[in-house]
A and B are shown apart, each in its own frame.
Chain A
């Protein structure tokens, strides 16, 4: 009988190749990273040099790949997320654009506008530069800005950022009336086309001639040029949108006026856009990059790995990777930490019986060791904060103003809880802390839970939920404690206060209601003297933070990026970046000449 073991080999011969493979894998896994003391200082912004100051690589090398979260729309009048807006700012420019000033501040400077507006009472007149063109060569005129602004105020377009042009912020006459034309859910309206046209025409924006735009506000506004630099006020081509409908932003259809044009798109998760220079871009500098590919990668760990393999040139990175980056000299010199205009806090429902007591909120706030939280959970990537108006904004007051009142002090925390009627936590009910179901947020929640238990002897139950459930919980006001915050939409301190802390404010889900705060915010909204306006906003912040009206600040975020050493022209700034370092000026980016 033949043996059935015709494939059996002597045992020992199998172990030699197996052992060799195991050794090879171990060597490969352990190798490849440079250990050693980092020589570069983390947090140093990119060179920020203009293309003329550093030599550029030849044109065929001016191609980069950048990471971004997945966008929803490329329509500036429908966009809501920073990744959408980041790309739209590469494709369009408004009358004004935000830039860095010599002293490191941010200002709105003329873009499509020829200069500052002429102001007569509530009427702002803006002259456009001459010879402006769209990417398809058609003239860009004042009518295009009229159409864009009317579109932003159109209820059928349903722009999430209409409010910046409406009564609460810029207050363009008629914008809210047009926007509310469809009524509410409980009292819907069905206006006729003629009625809608009349409301549209009543919006306070008109083209006096091809190069003169007139905007009528409800009251003068010092932030006019800042608001007009936002995507909400970008121009739009009525003929293109009419012709292509919802597909008007597809490559081949879309027409833009910014430094780049959209030439390629793979939609959806894992997709990408491809941008190329706009031949009719009116301003300087002209883009040096010949091709800018933006890959949609939501998983920052995956993006980090792709940067290490050389497949990405710029990416956001997750905070837990900071020690890995800092331990690698090559990665460390490519690491950028940029203070973001985003503040994070423990939000507290003021209608809750327990949290309505100031002493309880004070106890919770003073039991948070913010510096340790930032160190332990985020590897010191962020700034511990007892303030709300973020660093970088005019009127920034910083920790010194509030540390002694609401900052970390375990003894003061215990005393406050006892003053509230719960000595050593006795009788204190279990509160729920709602967080996003994500590893870093869970770590943060557990840190706070432990701190409150250790110092105050109170129990807090963590509810980790997905993003939509979290938002629903917040908007329905059915929460007790909630980890949340605010990212500025534009670099002005009013944006972090108005609407968030005034009674009935659109984003005031924690029901802060304080007549003193209301008075300050109302006065600031109406004030036309900028210095006085900033002072009023500072006063409002002081009241909000010291009274812990709806929240206790915890930290200010930072943007964490890796940018390949070959990149030049990056000017990262936390106030005006959106999703990428220095993407407020992508025309400044270039690939440096390699030695």
Chain B
């Protein structure tokens, strides 16, 4: 518990450092939020800068931002004057659904494929597993997505590709009508393929390592059933390196993929982040960057805590 609290408190200086670096970097990049090809008259630029406090010296804008941040105010997006916190909340709700589903698919299939490959080393199932893992790691997800769309949506009309098939509000999560499976499948598969491949490869390698250990031989010698040896001893011990990988994978999936969200027109936060940078939308850049930093930090903390659950030898002081 003390360890967990210490890690959470560490978030504060980490987020401060992220905010500071991001703030000054984004102001150093050419172009601003109101830069456009048809040059705005000076009076407009002045009025806009005043509206968003951009006419203040940079250090003052920085301190003002930190002050507002301490009060939970992430400011406004320059695109439409919408509350950044609201945009992130709404976008994250969608992105999280996509990320969680993709993570579940990646975990189930990745672990399953890795375990089966290891148990069938050099057999056909192993070859299939290695093939899938290699293709998954090598194939960019926008190419995979395009193939999936052309085959399964455009030609076979099995699925739909526009928008997200999940609820837009927390209150609708339990309503079956808020879910549209036809819209869920392709984005989830597109997003989960690469992490499935990574998880499968690491699981296979880890399982093979564990299966060669003396204690596995001892377990067999004691007459335990094969399934018991695999599930209770081999898989559990093989999970440590896999967990190390799954923490960052979970963070990456839950924070969204610009490419997948763009291809399927999903109103998620991953896409919002990239567009904020391209539009020099300072409020959204800061908000989404801090949000991601917090997510990654929390995900790493959860992974560390899970180590202690999986391996009783791991204890934090």
Contact = CB atoms under 8 A, between A and B. Distances in A.
Interface of A: 1-9, 11, 14-15, 18, 25, 28-29, 31-33, 70-73, 80, 155-160, 162-163, 179-180, 182-185, 188, 246, 266-272, 295-299, 302-303, 305-306, 308-312, 466-475, 484, 506-507, 509
B237 to A, nearest CB: 16
B150 A471 contact: no
Contact of B154 (A6, A11, A14, A305): A305
Interface stretch (B118-126, B170-178, B238-246): B118-126
B160 A309 contact: yes
Nearest to A250: B82
Interface string B193-217: 0000000000000000001000000
Closest 4 CB pairs of A and B: A468-B31, A32-B155, A270-B267, A158-B47
Interface in B252-290: 261-268, 271-272, 275, 278-280
Interface string B8-51: 00000000000000000000011110011111111111111011
Interface stretch (B63-71, B133-141, B161-169, B300-308): B161-169
Contacts of A305: 149-150, 153-154, 161
Given A182-B46, A471-B36, A270 B261 contact: yes
Given A468-B278, A506-B41, A271 B267 contact: yes
Contacts of B264: 302
Given A267-B80, A472-B32, 18 more contacts: A29-B150, A29-B151, A73-B81, A156-B51, A188-B46, A267-B90, A269-B262, A295-B265, A299-B262, A302-B265, A306-B162, A308-B154, A309-B160, A311-B163, A466-B31, A466-B278, A468-B278, A506-B41
B7 interface: no
B52 to A, nearest CB: 10
Contact of A302 (B37, B157, B262, B267): B262
Contacts of A158: 43-44, 47-48, 51
A470 B29 CA distance: 12
A441 to B, nearest CB: 13
Contacts of B37: 470-471, 474-475, 484
Q: Is the interface of A mostly helix, strand, loop or mixed?
A: loop
B79 interface: yes
Nearest to B269: A268
A311 B162 CA distance: 7
Contacts of B155: 28-29, 31-33
Interface in B208-242: 211, 220, 225-227
B156 A306 contact: no
A283 B47 CA distance: 37
A8 B43 contact: no
A311 B160 contact: yes
B152 A28 contact: yes
A66 to B, nearest CB: 12
Contacts of A80: 36
A180 B153 CA distance: 54
Interface in B67-115: 79-82, 87, 90-91
Contacts of B295: none
Contact of A269 (B43, B128, B275): B275
A132 to B, nearest CB: 29
- How many residues of B sit at the interface, in one of the four size bands? 35 or more
B151 A179 contact: no
B116 interface: yes
A309 B153 CA distance: 6
6 contacts: A269-B271, A302-B162, A302-B262, A306-B161, A468-B32, A469-B30
A201 B151 CA distance: 63
Contacts of B268: 270
Contacts of A183: 43, 46
Contacts of B120: 5, 7-8
A32 B31 contact: no
Given A471-B37, A472-B30, A180 B43 contact: yes
A185 B42 contact: yes
A507 to B, nearest CB: 6
B35 A179 contact: no
Contacts of B151: 25, 28-29
A14 B124 contact: yes
Contacts of B163: 270, 272, 295, 311
A32 B149 CA distance: 13
B46 to A, nearest CB: 6
A309 B123 contact: no
A32 B154 contact: yes
A302 B162 CA distance: 8
A15 B164 CA distance: 36
Contacts of A270: 163-164, 261, 265-268, 271
A129 to B, nearest CB: 32
Contacts of A2: 220, 225-226
A15 B267 contact: no
Contacts of A163: 41
Nearest to B123: A8
B39 A507 contact: yes
B7 to A, nearest CB: 32
B265 to A, nearest CB: 5
Nearest to A27: B155
Contact of A7 (B44, B80, B87, B125): B125
A199 B30 CA distance: 36
Most buried by B among A29, A296, A310, A468: A468
